[in-house]
Amino acid sequence: MVPLTISDLQETAKVIRRNSIEAIYKAGSGHPGGSLSATDILVSLFFGGVLNLDKKDLKSEKRDRFILSCGHVCPSFYAVLARLGFFNEDLLGNLRDLGSSLQGHPSSVYADFIETSTGSLGQGLSVGAGMALGIKFKTPSSKCKIVVLSSDGEQNEGSHWEAVMQSAFHKLGNLCLIIDKNRMQVGGETKKVLDMDSLSAKYKSFDWEVYEADGHDFRSLLSVFSRFNEAKDKPKVVICKTVRGKGVSFMEDNLKYHSCTLSEEEYRKAMEELC
Amino acid sequence: MLISMRDAFGEAMLELGKQNPKVLALTADLGPSVRLDGFAREFPDRFFNVGVAEANMIGLAAGMALEGFIPFCASFAVFLPGRCFDQIRVSLCQNKANVKLVGSHCGFTNPGDGASAQSVEDIALMRVLPEMTVICPADAIETKKAVLAMAHQNGPAYLRISRTETQVVTSKSDPFKIGEARVIKQGKKITLIACGTMVGIALQAAEKIDGEVINLSTIKPLDKATILKSIRKTGRVITIEEHSIYGGMGSAVTEMVSQQYPVPVKIMGIPDVFGESAREYQQLLDKYGLTVENIIKNYKLF
Q: Count the residues in chain B.
A: 302
Same domain, B72 and B155: yes
The CB density around residue B35, as the number of other CB atoms within 10 Å, is 25
How do residues B187-242 score in pLDDT, each as one tens digit? Answer: 999 999 999 999 999 999 999 999 999 999 999 999 999 999 999 999 999 999 99
How do residues A131-153 score in pLDDT, each as one tens digit? Answer: 999 999 999 999 999 999 999 99
Residue B106 inside a domain? The answer is yes
Q: How far is A11 from chain B (nearest CA, A)?
A: 35
How do residues B62-108 score in pLDDT, each as one tens digit? Answer: 999 999 999 999 999 999 999 999 999 999 999 999 999 999 999 99
How do residues B234-258 score in pLDDT, each as one tens digit? Answer: 999 999 999 999 999 999 999 999 9
What is chain A's mean pLDDT, rounded? Answer: 96
Chain A residues bordering chain B (beta-carbon distance below 8 Å): 107-109, 115-120, 122-135, 137-138, 158-159, 162-163, 165-166
Kindly determine whether residue B87 and residue A123, on different chains, have CB atoms separated by under 8 Å: yes
Residue B80 inside a domain? The answer is yes
Same domain, B23 and B97: yes
pLDDT at A221: 98
Cα B298 to Cα A222: distance, rounded to the nearest angstrom? 72
Same domain, B139 and B13: yes
How do residues B47-66 score in pLDDT, each as one tens digit? Answer: 999 999 999 999 999 999 99
Side-chain-facing half-sphere of A65: CA atoms under 13 Å: 30
**B56: nearest CB among A115, A134, A163:** A163
Supply the range of the domain harboring residue B120.
Answer: 2-167
**B59: nearest CB among A126, A135, A138:** A126
Tell me how many domains chain B contains. 2
Q: What CATH code is carried by the domain that includes residue B94? A: 3.40.50.970
Q: Which helix (H) or strand (E) holds B18?
A: helix B5-19
Residue B76 inside a domain? The answer is yes
Q: At what angle do helices A74-83 and A6-27 cross, to 10 degrees?
A: 120
Alpha carbon separation from A108 to A112, A114, B92 (Å, rounded): 6, 5, 11
Contacts of A182 (CB under 8 A, 6+ apart): A33, A34, A37, A151, A152, A215, A242, A243, A244, A246
**A127: nearest CB among B86, B91, B96:** B91
Same domain, B94 and B69: yes
- Nearest Cα neighbor of B57 from B78, B71, B42 is B71
Same domain, B146 and B197: no
Residue B174 inside a domain? The answer is no
B-chain residues within 8 Å CB-CB of A123? 59, 86-87, 90-91
- Contact between residue A79 and residue A106 where contact means Cβ atoms under 8 Å apart: no
Q: How far is A151 from chain B (nearest CA, A)?
A: 18
| Residue A205 one-letter amino acid | S
Q: How far is B81 from chain A (nearest CA, A)?
A: 15
Same domain, B163 and B187: no
Q: CA nearest A123 in B: which residue? A: B59
Same domain, B24 and B163: yes
Residue pairs between chains A and B whose CB atoms are closer than 8 Å: 98
Residue B177 inside a domain? The answer is no
If you ran DSSP here, which 8-state letter would residue B33 be given? Answer: T
Same domain, B162 and B243: no
Homologous superfamily of domain range A6-273: Thiamin diphosphate (ThDP)-binding fold, Pyr/PP domains (3.40.50.970)
The pTM score is 0.96
B-chain residues within 8 Å CB-CB of A112? none
Cα B274 to Cα B268: distance, rounded to the nearest angstrom? 16
How do residues A54-82 score in pLDDT, each as one tens digit? Answer: 999 999 999 999 999 999 999 999 999 99
Residue B229 inside a domain? The answer is yes
How do residues B150-176 score in pLDDT, each as one tens digit? Answer: 999 999 999 999 999 999 999 999 999
So what's the ipTM on this one? 0.95
Same domain, B82 and B107: yes
Same domain, B191 and B155: no
pLDDT at A92: 98
Q: Which of B139, B167, B195 is the last residue of a domain?
A: B167
Residue A154 pLDDT grade (very low, low, confident, very high; cuts 50, 70, 90): very high
Q: CA nearest B52 in A: which residue? A: A162
Same domain, B158 and B244: no
Same domain, B162 and B188: no
**CA-based angle A58:A63:A68, to the nearest 5?**
75
Q: What CATH code is carried by the domain that includes residue B191? A: 3.40.50.920
If you ran DSSP here, which 8-state letter would residue B300 be given? Answer: H
pLDDT at A232: 83
Reduced 3-state DSSP string for chain A: CCCCCHHHHHHHHHHHHHHHHHHHHHHCCECHHHHHHHHHHHHHHHHCCCCCCCCCCCCCCCCCEEEECCHHHHHHHHHHHHHCCCCCHHHHHHCCCCCCCCCCCCCCCCCCCCCCCCCCCCCHHHHHHHHHHHHHHHCCCCCCCEEEEEECHHHHCHHHHHHHHHHHHCCCCCEEEEEEECCEECCEEHHHHCCCCCHHHHHHHCCCEEEEEECCCHHHHHHHHCCCCCCCCCCEEEEEECCCCCCCHHHCCCHHHCCECCCHHHHHHHHHHCC
Q: Which of B115, B138, B167 is the last residue of a domain?
A: B167
How do residues A206-219 score in pLDDT, each as one tens digit? Answer: 999 999 999 999 99
